[in-house]
């Protein structure tokens, strides 16, 4: 058998190269699918007292607060972990949804540093018209002994009629550079609201 | 058409020795079936030296109880991160005096492995896939994600470093060169991962840090040694088309499995006495994996060499 000047393994190596590349691409695609599947998992929260259920991202930590129905935080968050909150407030049937948001804004302005409302607009949630207020404040950390730079937090309160006498307010809080990317979480949070 | 050596492409006579139908010059035919015993001895010595290094650092930390912080802590961590590579170079050049290997190629593959780690692997795994956000959701996710994302990314890049940089060259003239260059790529890769670990942590606890550094070095070198073995066989024997993809898949699976097991072994239950993380089982696992891997590769290489010399079990090239 005579060998040519070109290595005889050329063709076989080429096919193997393509197979390796295909294997890696398929594997990474499966990995991406796995990632999406895990990140989209949710946990249900049910409150019989208010008759509300909502789904929030699985793995997020719940914390207790007597002023809130629900607060969950992203455990992988940075200086300020992305937070979703849920409140139920009484509101007369004839009152505008902005009134509920005004009351909440007043509370925030008293407790948050450099609180500033940005804009108020109307959005559609589950076929209903809801009112959304976007705001910002500065977060300096909960522990005064930990050295950290303050961060700007952007938030959005969305008020939605629950029934004739009550309004539910869903809130997203996130660091300013992550706020836009986290909007999807608020949308999913709102779309999962159900009455029991 | 004249007959040429399939490794160096020098003309050879019509009665040149052949393997798998491919002709070799006398020099390269002799090299193909060499055992390179000193190389394997150096490999096992290096594993032992790394374990000893960890024990030495742990002992020093316990005795001296250094209170490093800030820049000194960072520098100490960086120095520790470089030790596995420096040890390997020392052992490699020591045994290399007896059996010369192009040092510039080995160093080049080492650097290429490191470059691919920094430029591709870390951004893909941490920035694109963001494994830190979802990999720990549950044991099955951890296992599958470790294999499909971390394992495949890391092992493909190390494989590619050897496959496209040195595999086609005449200097890749023995089966064992696959393991040598694979190991070099793995250690370069591990060195950058370790440096990144130290820098992103702003300095590490010296005892836990040195364990993690050595574990990473042993693991990365072992798994890329496996894909290097597959490359070495592919160049000098007629292997099926699935051989190389199978090697990458095997290395990636073992990489992911190791990542998963290390996490399971090093995470302990919380208690009033502390706990939560114990790195020592990870080191034991890495030492076992490295020793077992190199032992198996050594055995397989010797077996292939014996078959080569016997002129048996080599299918004819079609």
What are the tens digits of pLDDT across the range B216-247? Answer: 999 999 999 999 999 999 888 878 889 999 99
CA–CA min distance A30, chain B (Å): 7
| B313/A147: higher pLDDT | A147
Q: Which of helix, strand or coil describes residue B93?
A: helix
List the single residue in A13, A28, A59 with the smallest CB-CB distance to B152. A28
The number of distinct structural domains making up chain B is 2
Query: Is B75 in the same domain as B2?
Result: no
Q: Do B166 and B293 belong together in one domain?
A: yes
Whole-angstrom distance, CA of residue B312 vs CA of residue B224: 28
Does residue A43 have a pLDDT over 60?
Answer: yes
Q: Which helix (H) or strand (E) holds A52?
A: strand A52-57
Interface pTM (ipTM) of the complex?
0.85
CA dist., res. B96 & res. B94, Å (int): 5
Assess if residue B314 is contained within a domain.
no
Burial class (CB in 10 A: 0-12, 13-18, 19+), A178: middle
Q: A with B: how many residue pairs have Cβ under 8 Å apart?
A: 93
DSSP string, A95-163: S-HHHHHHHHHHHHHHHSEEEEEEEEEEEEETTEEEEEEEEEEEE--S-TTS----EEEEEEEEEEEEE
B180 and B93 within one domain: yes
Q: Are residues B283 and B138 in the same domain?
A: yes
In this structure, the answer to whether residues B6 and B136 fall within a common structural domain is: no
Whether B312 is in a domain gets the answer no
Q: Does B150 lie in the same domain as B10? A: no
**pLDDT confidence of residue B269:** 58
Q: Residues of A with CB below 8 A from B238's CB?
A: 12
Across residues A65-87, what is the average pLDDT?
89
pLDDT, residue B285, reads: 92
Q: Which residues of B touch A13 (CB under 8 A)?
A: 234, 244
Give pLDDT < 50 ranges for chain B: 312-318
Phi, psi of A172 (to 5 degrees): -115, 130
The sign of the torsion formed by the CA atoms of B136, B139, B141, B142 equals positive
Q: In the beta sheet, which residues pair with residue B267?
A: B277
Do residues B20 and B164 share a domain? no
DSSP state of B252: H
For tokens 């009152």, name the residue: A95
Q: Is A20 on the interface with B (CB under 8 A)?
A: yes
Alpha carbons B103 and B84: distance in angstroms, whole number: 18
Phi, psi of A134 (to 5 degrees): -105, 140
- How close, in Å, is residue B202 to chain A by CA atoms? 15
Q: Does A15 touch chain B (CB under 8 A)?
A: yes
Tokens representing B16?
A: 């040149």
Phi, psi of A132 (to 5 degrees): -120, 130
pLDDT at A8: 45
Residue A138's beta-bridge partner residues?
A113, A152
B156 and A20: CB-CB below 8 Å?
A: yes
> Considering the entire predicted model, what is its pTM?
0.81
Contact assessment for residue B182 and residue B227, using Cβ atoms and an 8 Å cutoff:
yes
B144 and B2, same domain (yes or no) = no
Residue environment code for A19-38, b if the CB has 16+ CB neighbours within 10 A, otherwise e: bbeebbeebbebbeebbeeb
8 A C-beta contact, residue B282 and residue B215: yes
Interface of A with B in 61-120 (CB under 8 A): 76
Q: What is the pLDDT of residue A1?
A: 35
Domain that holds residue B13: 1-32
Query: Is B240 part of a structural domain of the chain?
Result: yes
The distance of Cα A124 from the centroid of its chain, to the nearest Å, equals 17
Strand runs labelled E in chain B:
18-19, 22-23
Chain A positions touching B133 (Cβ under 8 A) are 39, 76
Report yes or no on B316 lying in a domain.
no
B58 located within any domain:
yes
In the 8-state DSSP scheme, what is residue B316?
A: P
Distance CA B94, CA B88 (A): 10
Q: Do residues B20 and B238 touch, judged by C-beta distance below 8 A?
A: yes
**What's the CA angle centered on B53, arms B47 and B54, to 5 degrees?**
95
Answer whether A31 sits within 8 Å of B141, measured CB to CB.
no
Copy the structure tokens of residue A142: 């909960």
Query: What is the pLDDT at residue A140?
Result: 87
Looking at residue A130, what is its pLDDT? 93
Is the domain of B18 the same as that of B133?
no
Mean pLDDT of chain A: 88
Residue B187 counted as domain residue = yes
Contacts of B6 in chain A (CB under 8 A): 3, 7-9
Mean pLDDT of the region A5-25: 77
Asked if residue B77 and residue B183 are part of one domain, the reply reads yes
Whether residue A28 is predicted with pLDDT greater than 50 in this model: the reply is yes
Residue B77 · residue B209 · CB < 8 Å? yes
Among A174, A183, A81, A37, which Cα is nearest to B135's?
A: A37
Q: What percent of chain A clears pLDDT 70, i.e. is strictly above it?
A: 94
The contacts of residue A77 (CB under 8 Å, 6+ apart) are none
The token pair that represents B35 in the structure block: 């055992």
> How far is CA B191 from each of CA B112, B147, B210, B251, B271, rounded to the nearest angstrom?
11, 21, 12, 19, 34
Answer whether residue B203 is part of any domain: yes
Q: Nearest CA to CA, how far is A37 from chain B (Å)?
A: 10
A104-120 pLDDT, tens digit each: 999 999 988 999 999 99
Q: Which residues of B touch A59 (CB under 8 A)?
A: 137
Q: What is the band of A14 on the pLDDT scale with cuts at 50, 70, 90?
A: confident
Please state, in angstroms and rounded to a whole number, the distance separating the CA atoms of residues B224 and B181. Answer: 9
Which residues are registered as beta bridge partners of B51?
none
Q: Cβ separation of A28 and B235 shorter than 8 Å? A: no
Q: Are residues B236 and B183 in the same domain?
A: yes
A contacts of B156 (beta carbons < 8 Å): 20, 24
Smallest CA-to-CA distance from A30 within B249, B216, B159 is with B249
φ/ψ (deg, to 5) at A140: -110, 0
Residues in chain A: 196
Residue B313, domain member (yes or no): no
The answer to which of A34-48, A107-121, A148-162, B4-18 has the lowest mean pLDDT is B4-18
Same domain, B123 and B200: yes
């Amino acid at each position: 058998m005579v060998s040519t000047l070109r290595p005889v393994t050329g063709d076989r190596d080429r096919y193997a190269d393509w197979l390796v590349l295909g294997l890696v691409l398929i594997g990474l695609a499966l990995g991406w699918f796995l990632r999406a599947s895990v990140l989209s998992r949710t946990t249900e929260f049910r409150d019989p007292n208010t008759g509300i259920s909502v789904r929030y991202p699985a793995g997020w930590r719940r914390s207790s607060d007597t002023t809130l129905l629900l607060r969950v935080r992203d455990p992988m968050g940075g200086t300020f972990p992305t937070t979703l909150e849920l409140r139920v407030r009484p509101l007369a049937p004839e009152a505008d949804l902005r009134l509920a948001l005004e009351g909440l804004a007043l509370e925030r302005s008293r407790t948050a540093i450099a609180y500033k409302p940005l804009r108020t607009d109307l959005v559609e949630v589950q076929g209903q018209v809801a009112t959304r207020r976007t705001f910002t404040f500065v977060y300096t950390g909960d522990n005064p002994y930990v050295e950290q730079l303050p961060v700007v937090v952007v938030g959005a309160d969305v008020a939605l009629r629950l029934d004739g006498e009550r309004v539910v307010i869903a809130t997203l809080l996130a660091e300013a550079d992550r706020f836009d990317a986290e909007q999807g979480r608020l949308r999913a949070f709102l779309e999962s609201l159900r009455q029991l | 058409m004249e007959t040429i050596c399939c490794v160096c492409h020098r003309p050879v006579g019509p009665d040149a020795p052949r393997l798998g139908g491919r002709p070799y010059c006398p020099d390269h035919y002799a090299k193909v079936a060499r055992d390179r015993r000193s190389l394997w001895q150096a490999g096992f010595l290096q594993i032992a030296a790394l374990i000893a290094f960890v024990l030495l650092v742990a002992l020093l930390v316990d005795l001296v109880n250094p209170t490093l912080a800030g820049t000194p802590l960072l520098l100490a961590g960086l120095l520790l991160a470089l030790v596995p590579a420096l040890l390997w170079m020392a052992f490699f050049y020591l045994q290399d005096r007896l059996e010369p290997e192009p040092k510039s190629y080995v160093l080049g593959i080492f650097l290429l492995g490191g470059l691919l780690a920094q430029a591709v692997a870390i951004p893909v795994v941490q920035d694109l896939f963001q494994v830190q956000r979802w990999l720990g959701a549950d044991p099955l996710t951890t296992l599958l994600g470790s294999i499909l994302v971390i394992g495949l990314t890391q092992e493909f890049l190390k494989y590619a470093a050897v496959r496209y940089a040195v595999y086609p060259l005449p200097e890749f003239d023995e089966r064992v060169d696959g393991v040598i260059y694979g190991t070099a790529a793995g250690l370069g890769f591990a060195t950058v991962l370790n440096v990144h670990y130290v820098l992103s942590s702003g300095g590490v606890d010296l005892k836990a840090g040195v364990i993690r550094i050595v574990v990473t070095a042993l693991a990365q070198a072992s798994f890329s040694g496996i894909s290097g073995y597959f490359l070495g066989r592919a160049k000098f024997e007629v292997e099926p088309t699935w051989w190389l993809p199978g090697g990458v898949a095997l290395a990636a699976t073992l990489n992911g499995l190791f990542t998963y097991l290390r996490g399971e072994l090093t995470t302990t239950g919380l208690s009033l006495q502390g706990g939560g993380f114990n790195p020592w089982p990870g080191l034991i696992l890495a030492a076992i994996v490295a020793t077992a891997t190199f032992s198996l590769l050594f055995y397989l290489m010797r077996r292939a060499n014996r078959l080569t010399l016997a002129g048996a079990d080599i299918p004819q090239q079609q």
